[in-house]
Amino acid sequence: MALIVQKYGGTSVGSPERIGNVAKRVARWQAQGHQVVVVVSAMSGETNRLIALAKEIQPNPDPRELDVVIATGEQVTIGLLCMALKEQGLKAKSYTGAQVRVLTDSAHTKARILEIDERNMRADLDAGAVVVVAGFQGVDANGNITTLGRGGSDTTGVALAAALRADECQIYTDVDGVYTTDPRIVPEARRLPTITFEEMFEMASLGSKVLQIRSVEFAGKYKVKLRVLSSFQDEGEGTLITFEEDNKMEQPVITGIAFNRDEAKLTVLGVPDRPGIAYQILGPIAEANVDVDMIIQNVGHDGLTDFSFTVNRAEFERAKQVLEGVKAHIGARAIEGDNKMAKVSVVGVGMRSHPGVASRMFRTLAEEGINIQMISTSEIKISVAIDEKYLELAVRVLHKVFELDQAQ
């Protein structure tokens, strides 16, 4: 007998019929003698609908109240799924995040899980019930409802699996695993039977929305056995996130390509090229709680230099205002911005033993006439910032040139 945590995303619970199918799958696992905890997202489109509704009332919604509103999506699906399970003749009990006591910090709309009380869930499981938990939500020490950021139900799933020391956490979604890149952009993308934790972490942090980055972080920290699977297929191994590199097989050079559309670039032109200038520019940006991603400082001429960095597109205006505010103080000539940027990254542990990945990537983009505006690298990834209009083209040609469409 194993303890399994299964998480079902929005599309997988998008209609009464699909909720019924989830109930049938859960029933099959339970019939095999396993204990099952199910984490569900809101029905597809629901969280977006709730955010839009909130913005109609308050263009910049109050974060605490926004969490009160958007946490309701998941509350609907836990109730509905429990009803469907009861229709299958199973015992089932729903829990909101607060009812479990998924304790988080108080950072509304992007809260972090601090602690999970597993006692009530454990008692229900031991009594033969299926436990159904609302993803994406928690409660802070003062009893305020919090949410974990978009895609946060993945993190609820993995965190519960860690707290319950589950044998496996299964993420059921609308694709049958983790692919070499988003199959919606490149139809030739292939499912990866396994991917290393490190690679999955990079892919998620560089924009592959198949798993929320924090869920991968949790899996790494607590060594949760994590698998991504299709909720629309009955068979299939999906993709297992592994903690050891497979040394038996020849490593491919690149494992996958991630991309992110929501990038924006800011450039501070003609600042004095002196020690401390990066701090004078980025200090106020950090104080405004804007995350900076890539950074470039150009070679100075005549004592002046240009300084560029990228931020999430949603924070572009705020970052620009901050820079306008400090422009005179730092002695900059002008502030420029471009909020139609995208980032494409190639990821793979094979890069450690195969030199030349960067040059191959840059040559391929050059041959397509795609200008690289910024570059950043780590041991197992290379990212470039490009004009958003070339994003899909860049992903496709890179997927081909690194032979990701070929069976390994």
Residues within the interface to ligand ADP (CB under 6 A) = 9-12, 41, 151, 173-175, 178-179, 181-182, 184, 208-210, 256
Q: Which does residue 181 bind out of Mg ion, ligand ASP, ligand ADP, none, counting CB within 5 to 8 angstroms by kind?
A: ligand ADP
CA neighbor of 240 nearest in space, from 180, 168, 312: 168
Neighbours of 401 (CB within 10 A): 16
Q: CB neighbours of 356 closer than 8 A, spacing ≥ 6?
A: none
Q: If binding is defined by CB under 5 A, does position 238 make contact with Mg ion?
A: no
Site map for ligand ASP, 51-90, x if CB under 6 A? ----------------------x-----------------
Rounded to the nearest whole angstrom, what is the least distance from the CB of residue 39 to ligand ASP in the complex? 9
Q: Does 157 bind Mg ion (CB under 5 A)?
A: no
- Please say whether the beta carbons of 156 and 7 come within 8 A: yes
Q: How far is the CB of 41 from ligand ADP (least distance, A)?
A: 6
Q: Does 12 bind ligand ASP (CB under 6 A)?
A: no
For residues 339 and 312, give the distance between their C-alpha atoms in angstroms, rounded to a whole number: 9
Decide if 117 contacts 95 (C-beta within 8 A).
no
Find the shortest distance in angstroms from Cβ 190 to ligand ADP.
10
Distance of alpha carbon 94 from alpha carbon 38, whole angstroms: 9
Burial-class residue 279 by CB neighbours within 10 Å (0-12, 13-18, 19+): exposed
Give residues 127-146 in contact with ligand ASP (rule: CB under 6 A). Answer: 135-136
Binding-site partner at residue 11 among Mg ion, ligand ASP, ligand ADP, none, CB < 5 to 8 Å by type: ligand ADP
Query: Residue 126 CB, nearest distance to ligand ADP (Å)?
Result: 29
Ramachandran bin of 356, using left for φ above 0, alpha for ψ from -120 to 50, beta for the remaining angles: left
> If you search the block for the tokens 């030199």, which residue do you land on?
355
Binds 136: which of ligand ASP, ligand ADP, Mg ion, none (CB < 5-8 Å by kind): ligand ASP
Query: Is the Cβ of residue 7 or residue 396 nearer to ligand ASP in the bound state?
Result: 7
Choose the contact partner of 73 out of ligand ADP, Mg ion, ligand ASP, none; CB within 5 to 8 A by kind.
ligand ASP
Q: Would you list the DSSP string of 253-280? A: S--EEEEEEEEEEEEEEEEE--TTHHHH
CA–CA gap between residue 222 and residue 165 (Å, rounded): 9
Q: Which of 73, 151, 252, 350 contacts Mg ion by CB under 5 A?
A: 151
Q: How many residues does the chain have?
A: 408
Mark 92-131 with x for binding to Mg ion (rule: CB under 5 A) and - for no binding.
----------------------------------------
Q: Count other Cβ atoms within 10 Å, centred on residue 407.
A: 5
Written as six digits, the tokens of 274 are 């002196």
Footprint of Mg ion on 242-271 (CB under 5 A): none
Q: How far is the CB of 3 from ligand ASP (least distance, A)?
A: 22
Q: Do residues 164 and 37 lie in contact, with contact meaning Cβ atoms separated by under 8 Å? A: yes
Distance, CA of 113 to CA of 376 (rounded, Å): 30
Instruction: List phi, psi (to 5°) of 58.
Output: -140, 110
- Give me 228's structure tokens: 């991504």
**174 contact, one of ligand ADP, ligand ASP, Mg ion, none, CB 5-8 Å limit per kind:** ligand ADP
Give CA–CA dist 306/159, Å, rounded: 43
Q: Tell me which of ligand ASP, Mg ion, ligand ADP, none is bound by residue 138, counting a contact when its beta carbon lies within the kind-specific cut-off of 5 to 8 angstroms.
A: none
Question: Minimum distance between the CB of residue 10 and ligand ASP, rounded to whole angstroms?
Answer: 5
179 versus 316: smaller Cβ distance to ligand ADP: 179
* Footprint (CB under 6 A) of ligand ASP, residues 144-173: 150-154
The contact set with ligand ASP (CB under 6 A) reads: 9-10, 41-42, 47, 73, 135-136, 150-154
